[in-house]
Amino acid sequence: MARVAIFLYGIACYAVSLVVFIYGAGFFVGFGTPTMLDGTPTRPFTEALAINVGLLAAFAIQHSGMARPGFKRWWTRFVPESAERSTYLLFSNIAMVAIYYYWAPMGGVIWKVPEGNAYIAVLALYGFGWALLLLATFLINHFDLFGLEQVWRKLTGRTDRVQKFHTPLLYKLVRHPIYVGWLIIFWAAPVMTGAHLVFALGLTIYILIAIRLEERDLIDAFGKQYTDYIDRTPMLVPGLRRR
């Protein structure tokens, strides 16, 4: 019964993740969602800025803090190891839902793409960012990344997971195509307001910090294999080599 419960829990967390992703696709550009990044301001600018920065900081701390190996070793004393990834996703989803619900529009238009071909091109780039993000997850193992493989192995009694280092397709061009997808999503905005700029800039800074933390863990896990990968593969921009 415990195995079945963990499996159903993993399925539920994955389903929540899908809903959060779909809502985000509308939230970031203000399409079909009751809340959005670029809404009409209802609070004083400084109050809205403080709320938004606090929401981004809470997400960053949760998202990177719970991903660290030291936290995982402590956390799995209370949470079954097979459910650790699903629980991590659940907390990440809660942090994103808080952003969706409490985000405070701030007014001010940084840029607005005129209707026509330019507007369509920006929306196409935005859609490309989501497609790139999804493809990058499947290239490295989408179901492991979202906790489903772990709960399936628990259900079937398998414990033969071996962590392997590989660089399929996009990972030969850049080390972090998932983050490239997110950056395109954040910045490919037909309308860039003050609140949207805070969101995009804040999460861009977070991504650059998160990459350093993740790569430190990957070096610990794979050693020279990963440092050689760093030397030959750009971080985010294809063709941009380290000096």
Report if residue 240 sits inside a domain. Answer: no
- Could you tell me if residue 73 is inside a domain? yes
**How does pLDDT run across 67-116, given as a tens digit for each residue?**
998 999 999 999 999 999 999 999 999 999 999 999 999 988 999 999 99
Residue 242: inside a domain: no
Q: Give domain status of residue 238, yes or no.
A: no
Supply φ then ψ for residue 241, to 5 degrees. -85, 150
Between CA 202 and CA 189 the distance in angstroms is 15
Quick check: is 243 in a domain? no
Phi, psi (degrees; rounded to nearest 5) at 196: -65, -40
Model confidence pLDDT, tens digit, residues 162-194: 678 888 989 999 999 999 999 999 999 999 999
Residue 70 token pair? 């030291």
Residue type, 208: L
Token couple for 180? 């490239």
How far separated are the first and last CA of the chain, in Å rounded? 55
Q: Which residues contact 83 (CB under 8 A, 6 or more apart)?
A: 6, 9, 10, 147, 150, 151, 154
Query: Looking at the domain assignment, is residue 241 inside a domain?
Result: no
Q: What is the domain range of residue 18?
A: 2-232
* Total number of domains in the chain: 1
* Residue that has been written with the tokens 């600018």 in this structure: 45
Question: Residue 91: inside a domain, yes or no?
Answer: yes
